[in-house]
Structure formats: C-alpha cells, structure tokens
Amino acid sequence: MKIVFVGLVLNLLWTFGLSQDFYGFNNAQAVEVGTYLCIGFWSLSVVGFLMMLSGKRKAGSVLVIIGSVIFVPLGLVAIIGARKATSKDRDASLEGRELSGRGVAAFHAVKQGNLMFVCGIVVLLVYMLAGFSSPASLGAIGVIMMVMGVWWRQSPLVEFRDDHLMINRGPVRSKLELRYSEISQVEYKKRSCILHYRRHGNEAGKVRKIGIASGGLLPHDRDRFELAMRNRVDSGKQSQEVLEG
C-alpha cells in the first residue's frame, strides 16, 4: 500500500508540472501511443482496485501497483503532450484574432481547474488511505472538487465575441454579457482583472464593477487575454465615439 501511495504522489507531481506548463511535448505520433497505454493501464488500476474491494487483495494490489506506479506518469505526459501537439494551430489562430480584434476567442481557467482537480485527488486519497473509515462526506468533497476542476477546464472563463464579451461567473450563476463600448476602465491586478462598466441608457455616474479571476489562467493565456481585452475595449470605444459623433 505504501508503494501505491508513493506512485500516486509521483502522479500528482507530474500533474502539477504539466498544469504549470513545465514541459513541451509536440511529437504527436509518440504521444498518441502513450495515450493508449495510459488508458489501458488506468483501466488495469481500476480493475485491481475493484479486486481489492472484493477481497482479492494480493492480486488486486499487483494490478494497482503496475497500473498506478509504473505507467500512469508516462500516460499523463502522453495525454498533455497530445493536447499540446494538437492545439498549436488553435493557439496561432487565437493569437491572430486577438491582434485583429475580430472573431471569437475563448480563455479557460486551466490553472484553477488543475489545482482544484489535484486537491480533489488528494482529499480522495486521504479518504482511501484512512481505510474508508473517515466520514463519507470527505470522499464526496474530493469527488466534487474533481468535478469542479474539470468544469473550470472545459467552460470558458471569458469568451470574446465581435462586439461583446461573455464572463463566466460560476456553474450556478448565469453568464454576464458586456458590450465593449460599455466598459469604461480596466484594472489589471496580480490575480484578477477588474472591469468598470456602465450599461447603455443608465444615468451618468452609475458605474458597476465585476472581477475576472485571470489568475486562474496559464501564464501565456493570461498574456493573450490581456492583449485581447485591450484591443477589444479600445475598438469598442472607437466605435462608440463614431456613433456619438
């Protein structure tokens, strides 16, 4: 069991490094093979874990050790590497849209999602290592954190359109739609971006604020996000001045 725990800790370290963009894998053919290996050996780990629960602890432990300790780190590298290899063209296309100020550009809180997912794994591991003797709510919290991590990775934090942007305020609240011409000021802070805006038709001085957790973006995504924000807001102000003129 200690060996399995060490293997899972190594997996978490791999995941953290990959989530922080420490590695640059771009050989699509190699990572595709690694991806299939990862899927196979993750499945082996699941089968072994189920065998341990059914009472076949020795055989189950062997399968879990083979699946989790030996091959999962390689599989994680393969999966993230494959995503990097297939996303190069998409990133280049997004950068072109950010510079031109036209088209759709979406930014995902990958850093925040990865952190929440890893924390969920840690909580779930603590629950499992305690022999499932801890309160069931602890395991449920771990699962919820993992689901939230996946949600933040898959759902755009901010989506830029031609004349407006969409801000994701969470899984429960609805998205906020803002026209670029409604944004009067943008503040860039260490972990957030504050938008000052006023709806068209409101009386003068009625300015509202909304924060965007830009600290949840990966470093290169945050640079592109700020570039897109500047270009789109400036374009919106120019369009509004033309209309008012």
CB 217 within 8 A of CB 225: yes
Structure tokens at 239: 């369009």
Tell me the three state secondary structure of residue 238: helix
Q: Give the angle subtended at the CA of 7 by the CAs of 218 and 4, to the nearest 5°.
A: 140
> pLDDT tens, 172-188?
788 889 888 888 889 99
Order across the sheet with 208-212: list the strands.
183-188, 193-197, 208-212
State the Cα–Cα distance between residues 234 and 98, nearest whole angstrom: 12
Structure tokens at 65: 């050790």
More confident residue, 193 or 202: 193
Lowest average pLDDT, out of 35-49, 86-100, 108-122, 210-224, goes to: 86-100
State the Cα–Cα distance between residues 1 and 53, nearest whole angstrom: 14
* Neighbouring-strand partners of residue 159: 106, 166
Mean pLDDT to the nearest integer, 212-233: 87
> pLDDT tens, 36-60?
566 666 677 778 778 878 888 888 8
CA 31 to chain centre: 20
